[in-house]
Each structure stands twice: as structure tokens, then as C-alpha cells.
Structure 1
């Protein structure tokens, strides 16, 4: 588990890097603040006791995403290369099959670094923020907390059917994320039956929606739109700014989110490491 002091050091470095580059890095603080003690997932570089380089790794089943930064005054000294070397070595030990390097679309320093890495652009992900808009009331679809073994099994099957994980990976991912203290796992019900799921992460006045999915055989029936509308209204009433992420190639999801009042404001690029 990362100490509060380590988290604050990361946040201080993040603020400097984002301000210098006029960009936003995706460091997933909900995951950073809930790290396991027995896994090496974060890599640090200090100079004279000052944190100047950081790399975080985020595992999702057999896939790992890396995102990191180096203080502007300490770049071009091989610091990030050293951090990434450590991350890749650990990923090899954990037998990760897909390795993605995450960089803000507008980061020129990241693009320069990636020129020397054997990788290819895998996907672009949009961050979207909800703009206040009128959402229809509909109680035919409900959203409730996930609490039972049956709910957990449904979540696992949704990850398998909607996100391409195999069952072993889906179970492992659930085990690794079940104790995130900022998270609320939700089950979507339609006509009294489990239809889908999503996860909310509430931090610092923001509510992020992750893992939003509906069983394939129930898609196209308006269930997702109604569930999303219900959750957005709930979070808005609690005073949260509401965000989510979507891959650019997922045109159906993008249209759904836009129809509910979400607008893109930022994007992240993911590069797949080829070895």
C-alpha cells in the first residue's frame, strides 16, 4: 500500500507535469490509494530526496497499462526508460499478455519517447464529462448495489462477454479490485432480472463511471440508456461532477453517452508494446 506521503509526492509531481505540458495524465488515484502490499506496481525515481519520476502500472486480468511522468527539469536523462524497464520486467514475471503505454494525445514529449519504443497505436480513449441536461424519468430499469455471490458471478460474466477477458482473468480482476475504497459496484436490473453492471468511483467531488456493460442479448433495448440516466441523476443530486471514458472506435457507446449529455473534453492514446 502506498503511504499518504508517497501519494502526495505523486500528486505534486503530477501538478507540475500537467501544468508544464497543458495536459492531463491518467494515474488512476483510486487504484493507487488501494494498492496491495505484496505486489510491485509502482516505480519511483528520486534525486536528492525529491521525486522526479514516477511510473504506475494498472493490471486488468492479462492486460497491464502503464502511465508515468518525469519532472520537466529532469527529462532526457534516461529516467523514464529506467522506470519503464522495471515495469516491463515485472509485467513479464506476471505473464501479462497485453502491455499498453498510455499517453495524453497532446503530449509531444510522450510521442518523442515512444518513437524509440517497439509499439503501435492500439486505441484512442475519450474522457467525457456530463453537461447538465434533462433526463427522462424511467423506473422500468433499476440500479442497485452489488452484494451477493450471484451478483459477483454476473459481474464476472459481463466482463467475459463484453470486455473480452477470459473467465480466469475476470475472476482475478474482480479479486484485485473488490477492496477499492472509493468504489461502488452496481447491478442493473430490468424486469426483475440482472441485465448489466457498472462501477462508480467517487473522489474529490468527481464521480467516474467504469465497466458499464449490458449482456449482449439485452443490448439495443434501451436498458443501458435508462440505467445511465438513473445513475447520472443520482450522482448529480449528490453534487458530483460526472465523468466516463469510451474508446473512439465504440461508436454505439459514444452516441449513447452523447445522447445522455456527455461531451468529450480530452483523449488518451494507448500504444501496444510489441516484443
Structure 2
């Protein structure tokens, strides 16, 4: 990501006290020539950026320079992003707006976008982290094996099954992630069986725990908690202290787990559906 785009994102964040979820780490074309970033320039200056995250029904994040809003820049970028989604064959896109952003929510309302759901962004409070031994006897941190390209099919299967997503789209995402120097994936095994997976992304000095999933047939055995304990312990041992995770607001069980492991909510995002037809 260019320093110019990061500067624009930081400027927008400071202007409204936000934590925009721009997917600025993915540069260039994605799989099959998919474009994930769009920029609006005027007289050589970067005034707006839009990013897409995901293959089908991708998440759309948008930032426009505070001094250049209400000039059609956001709509122009959004049209380009929606056109890209249509070209991919995606029936809709999900516009992401931080819920405390007055300008973002006004933009979503002006578009007539339909609200779908909300997510919390949480940060690890090191003082509240109970440590990897915070589990029933004999159920400490579950060992995780780093995944390589040879694990792409297994990872795609675990993620697609755990999150009820099309496996084809997850194959493309996994291939992209495994090729990224900022992304690491892990598979958890118990009794010789693969039970789940988790990913770690580093971006802008932060570390994000993503796609923590347990296969349905292995749920209810504490594997999710043990996987989370293992990855947190590894990250802290590596000197990573800014650790984040995101969770759907209605996922009460996951929210309770993350709180028990020392995470606390810092902001929330609304997701609004935009049809591409």
C-alpha cells in the first residue's frame, strides 16, 4: 500500500475519531484479474480510495478526504467498485460503515442501502489476558501447525464449512492469503483429525486474528478457546501487543469467548447491502 493512501486513511480517521476497516494491504490485481482497490485523484492529489475484500458479495470500504466531500467522489468510487462486483458475477456488495461515523451512515442512508448486520472490533487487553493455562484441566492451548500451499484444499474446506460459505470463493481467498507475506494460516489437529483453522494478518503495525473456525462436528469441546489461547500466546511471545479480532454482534457465544480471553470492544461497523444489478 502506498504511503499516500495510508496518509489519507489516517486523515479520515483523525477527522471523525474513527478506525476505518480499509483493506489497504492488498495491492494490485487479485485472482483472475480482480481489482480490489480504486483511487480518485485530482491535480495529482489522492482524494479518495475504495477497497474490496472478498470474492463474492465483497465488503466495500470507502474513504474520501474531509475537505473534498459532497463532490461526487464517493459515488464515483462506489460505482467503480459495484461495476467490478458485477463483472465478477456477485449479486451484491456490502458497504461497511463505522457506526459512530456520521458521514458514513449518512452516505449509506442516501444510497438507500439495506442494513444487514453489525460487527464489533475488539482489542486484546494484556492485563485481562488470563494466559494459555486458563482452561479446564488437560485442555490448555491447542497446538497449531502452520499451513503451506499444500494445505490450501484443507483450509478452504475448513473455512467454507465453518462459516457456511461457498468453497470456490474460499479456494481463491486461501490461495491469495497463502501467497501474502502479511498473512499466516494455521490448522489445528486433535487426535489426528483436523478440527479447525485460524489466520493472522499484520497490517500497519497491528495484528489481526481472523477466520477462527471449528468444524461443526468438533464443536462443543473447547477447541475454539484452546486455538485462540495458542495463537494469542504465540503472538505475545513474538512481541505483538496490538492484537485485534472482529466478531458479528449477534454471535453471543464468540463474543463471550473473546471477552473471557481478554478482548474488549473498541468500535462497531454496520454492513449495508448494495445490489449490483
Does the 8 A contact of 1:63 with 1:96 survive in 2?
yes
- Counting only pairs closer than 5 Å after superposition, residues 115-264 of structure 1 correspond to structure 2 as 115-132=109-126, 133-137=129-133, 138=139, 141-147=142-148, 149=150, 151-240=151-240, 241-264=242-265
2:89 equivalent to 1:95: yes
Distance change in 2, residues 1:30/1:168 (3 Å): same
Gaps of 5+ in 1: none
2:65 equivalent to 1:64: no
Q: Secondary structure at the match of 2:58?
A: strand
Instruction: Give the equivalent residue in structure 2 for 1:86.
Output: 80
Q: How many residues align?
A: 268
Instruction: Map Cα deviations across residues 79-104 of structure 1 (whole Å, 9 max, x no partner).
Output: 11111111111111111133100111
Q: Kindly state the Cα deviation for residue 232 of structure 1 after the two structures are TM-superposed.
A: 0.4
Does the 8 A contact of 1:130 with 1:263 survive in 2?
yes
TM-score under structure 2 length normalisation: 0.90
Distance change in 2, residues 1:210/1:101 (3 Å): same
Instruction: Give the equivalent residue in structure 1 for 2:8.
Output: 13
TM-score under structure 1 length normalisation: 0.90
Instruction: Map Cα deviations across residues 129-178 of structure 1 (whole Å, 9 max, x no partner).
Output: 111222243557211101363x3222111222122222222222223333
Tell me the C-alpha RMSD between the 2 structures.
2.0
Q: Kindly state the Cα deviation for residue 242 of structure 1 after the two structures are TM-superposed.
A: 1.2
Does the 8 A contact of 1:185 with 1:198 survive in 2?
yes
Q: Kindly state the Cα deviation for residue 47 of structure 1 after the two structures are TM-superposed.
A: 1.9
Q: Distance in 2 between matches of 1:179 and 1:12?
A: 26
Moved more, 72-81 or 111-120: 111-120
Q: Distance in 2 between matches of 1:82 and 1:144?
A: 44
Instruction: Give the equivalent residue in structure 2 for 1:42.
Output: 37
